[in-house]
Amino acid sequence: MKKLNKMTTQEKLDVILRPLSDEQIDSLSANELKLLLKGEQKLRQVYEEIIKDQKELNKQLEDKQLQIEGQLVRLKCRLFCPQSERSKPVEKNPLVPKEKRRPLPKNRDLRKRYPNAEVIEKEVRLETLPACPCCQQTMKEMGFFEESQHLTVIPKKYLITSILRMKYHCTKCHSAIVTAPQLPRVIPRGSYGDEFLVDVALSKFCDLIPVDRYCEMAARQGFLGLPSNSLYEAIWRLGQFALGVYELIRTEALDSLVFYADETTHWMLEGAKNDHWYLWGFFTETACFFECHDTRAGDVATDVLSESECRYFVSDAYTGYGKAIRESNELRKLAGLDAIIEVLCNAHARRNFNDCLEIKQEKEILINPDAEFFITEYKEIYKVEKEVKALLPLNFDEAAKKRAELECHFTRMKEKSEGDLSRYSSHHGYYGACQYFLNNYTGLSACLKDPRIPLDNNLSERGLRSPVVGRKTWYGTHSEKGAEAMAIHFTLVESCKLNGVNPREYYHAVIDAIHYKRPLFTPSQYKKKTAAAQENKT
């Protein structure tokens, strides 16, 4: 038999753990039995600790698996599911006959269907008068037409405007020549007219067409050779020309009672040390402005809020906004002003519950009843919110009473969140949704204080949609000048959208006002101005 010191670890274990026969046990002395029992107890303790560690490890792995499965479900929803948070329609009883909706009568007259379209009339006449099919007599014109209509399009034309300025001379002394002055333009001695600059800028920042693609579209229409590099510079020059309007819109937004904010990533392709920038958007119901910075720190929001006169600040639960509100309130306290009230987005809270609404169990997908409770509550909340928005312009007190009805819904959701935390693993998506709701309950329920406070931050998210879609087509900007031009033009375009104003008309009106030294105006002021002009005409 091998000596003990020459045995391997596995051989030692085999010797120690091998079973003893009855004869061997009977031959053991009392001291040997005590030693055997003590060794067996120690061995049992070691195995119990190993089993305990394995159980804890298994629990951690199960929690991790649950967390990864939840992340996988959310990623699949983002990639493959329709991008909508609307609840599925309630299934109707198949026995109840469905009411057939009659389609609205379509207006066959294209002039009435498209009243703003220009009409071109073409008369069709026969060169040789026809003969009557009955008596073969030559027919005459009746003076009536059979009319048919169709839509057509005239491709965009690129024209060269040649400005001829008259020269004047003195017929007496013949010593002086005077030339008629230049017409005012955004770029006085440039190759591009104002209409062309507006068309390029709106193609990029309103229609989200990259400048290179704009040049390719012009080439397909027969206008070859547009240089994209000079168009980038022209867009920046137009932005600098309209900088006063940008500041005017910014001032209007800062003076609003309710102020929204959100941010999105922006890539600086070259010309800066940091390529990861952020486009910050600040919104109100009638005005918005954008700023591009190389940081996501809350200092950006602090600088903006320090100038703002707002009472309510609506955002998501990003800690940078919370820091900005605290620092701004300290300054307001020293100045004796009212503090800013933080309002958080209920759409984010609802989205968290919506992400964990479906449970994958074996081959079936079940509905989580706990998450469904919150979705149902939010459905009722938004139903009441529609009534609040309808009442607010007419009767503020009634709107406030209607908004107060939402308190019971928030209370029920808070109580359920507190009760359900102990029933779920901390790695479960539903646990995180409840934790988010409880941690941010004060900001989420702040909307109960005033009917003018919105339930969510969807206004700013909609306002950032165009920059985000545009980022996917032109990837980023090549310089800080490009980022500045982007912020200015998106400010003008998105403010026009908020007011239902045609950006092209607004750009031309603003450019004319700057050329002829008239007062500038924001899109909301332009809307009131044009509405008043139309009323005076009628």
pLDDT digits (tens, 9 = 90+) for 346-367: 999 999 998 888 766 556 677 8
Angle at which helices 228-241 and 194-205 pack, to 10 degrees?
100
User: For residues 163 and 124, is the Cβ–Cβ distance under 8 A?
Assistant: no
The Cα 255–Cα 259 span in angstroms is 9
Q: With CA atoms as reference, report the closest residue to 261 among 306, 316, 214.
A: 316
Instruction: Give per-residue burial for 493-517: e unless 16+ CB within 10 Å, then b.
Output: bbbbbbbebbbeebbebbbebbeee
Question: Is residue 503 within 8 Å of residue 206, measured between CB atoms?
Answer: yes
Per-residue pLDDT tens for 186-241? 999 889 999 999 999 999 999 999 999 999 999 998 899 899 999 999 999 999 99
Of 244, 245, 246, 236, nearest in space to 187 by CA: 236
Supply the pLDDT for residue 425. 82
pLDDT value, residue 126: 87
Of 44 and 503, the structure prediction assigns the larger pLDDT to: 503
Tell me what pLDDT residue 1 has: 45
pLDDT category at 457 given cuts 50, 70, 90 is very high
Percent of the chain topping pLDDT 70: 87
Overall pTM surpassing 0.85 (yes/no): no
Alpha helices in 81-191 (DSSP H): 110-113
**pLDDT (tens digit per residue) in 6-41:** 667 666 566 666 776 777 777 767 777 777 777 778
Tell me the pLDDT tens digit for each residue of 371-401. 999 999 999 999 999 999 999 888 999 999 9
Whole-angstrom distance, CA of residue 161 vs CA of residue 185: 13
Q: Output the six-digit token pair for 340.
A: 């800013």
Domain boundaries, the chain: 193-345+457-538, 346-455
